[in-house]
Amino acid sequence: MSGSRLLGSGSALPRRVVTNEELAATVDTSDEWIVERTGIRQRYIAGEGETTASLATDAARAALADCGLEPGDIDLIVLATATPDNTFPATATKVQHALGCNGGIAFDVAAVCSGFLYALSVADSMLRSGMARRALVIGAETFSRILDWEDRTTCVLFGDGSGAVVLEAAGERAGDAPAGVLATRLHADGAQHDLLYVDGGPSTTRTVGHLRMKGREVFRHAVVNLSEVLGEVLEQAKVSVDEIDWVVPHQANRRILDATAKKLGIPPEKVIVTVDVHANTSAASVPLAFDTARRDGRIGPGDLVMFEAMGGGFTWGASLVRL
């Protein structure tokens, strides 16, 4: 196989929207502070019956419908999440069962906010190697369940949601032009663990724990790391920055999106921004933003799209995809 093509996308959000004003009623914060420092105006928060697996399943169904495929056409599910339904089994197996396509490969990838980039890369590699033919690559999170709702420095920043794409091993459908996943670069730096982590886990505290972040330091690393990795992907793909039609970044903070784009000379109108409505949905953020922009007609067939993300670990990466 020469590569993998992206056939469709879908996304899902919890029913409940929580505005900044609503948060300001219970935490010492304000709509003004949150909008000015992050660009976030609201977020979706999972309620009764809504879990990472249920949101992921809804996004997967929407992605399959988008490209006219059935669950039975899928033989690989890679799900990126830091908030699985259970410590084990993998949430991907719950999604597989809910979709009714048992028997293929299904597993989770843990790379926090960069999870979708890692999952996309793993799925692309498995399709290229011939281990599978069609993959669902999903980013799904319920970060609301690991937030410390008394910590105003973190609880205002995150939301819940899910996004999915369908990838197919190239060569199964007509079309000769280079398309699909063209180049990917991934990185991790475990030395930065303490800047963004969860203070619990099965093997340490035997609890789920809460998210802890030194936001200002994460911000500083994010702009540098993302600019570098975008440059690496462009070099690997032998593509100039002007050829990119759309950048779909991880939606952590409007100021990070603006600063990274400026550093690379990417016009702001080419950057998809959904942080205002979704807030930071970790691994779900890139596919959620991508699906939003495909459905509103901005991103279309033939477009050259750059995905990028950075998060806990640290992990970061970027991937260039031709639709």
Give the count of residues interacting with ligand UT7 (CB under 6 A): 19
280 is catalytic: yes
* Interacting residue with ligand UT7 among 55, 109, 138, 222 (CB under 6 A): 222
- Which C-beta is closer to ligand UT7: that of 222 or that of 321? 222
Handedness of CA 117, 257, 67, 178 (dihedral sign): negative
Give the footprint of ligand UT7 on residues 41-80 (CB under 6 A). Answer: none
* Token pair belonging to 292: 């939003």
State CA 224 to chain mean position distance.
19
227 binds ligand UT7 (CB under 6 A): no
The string of DSSP codes covering 158-195 is B-EEEEEEEEEETTSSS--S--EEEEEEEEE-GGGGGG
* Interacting residue with ligand UT7 among 17, 18, 33, 303 (CB under 6 A): 33
CB 63 within 8 A of CB 55: no
The string of DSSP codes covering 220-248 is HHHHHHHHHHHHHHHHHHT--GGG--EEE
Name the DSSP class of 299.
S
- Interface region with ligand UT7, contact rule CB under 6 A, candidates 4-12, 101-109, 126-134, 211-219: 211-219
67 is catalytic: no
- Which C-beta is closer to ligand UT7: that of 8 or that of 249? 249
Altogether, the residues listed in the chain come to a count of 323
Instruction: Write the interaction track for ligand UT7 spanning residues 95-124; mark x where CB under 6 A is met and - where it is not.
Output: ------------------x-----------
- Interface region with ligand UT7, contact rule CB under 6 A, candidates 150-158, 161-169, 239-247, 298-306: 150-158
Looking only at the bridges linking them, the beta strands covering 304-311 and 246-249 are: parallel
Of the listed 155, 210, 250, 278, which one is catalytic? 250
Binding site for ligand UT7 (CB under 6 A): 29, 33, 37-38, 113, 152-153, 156-157, 215-216, 218-219, 222, 252-253, 256, 280, 311
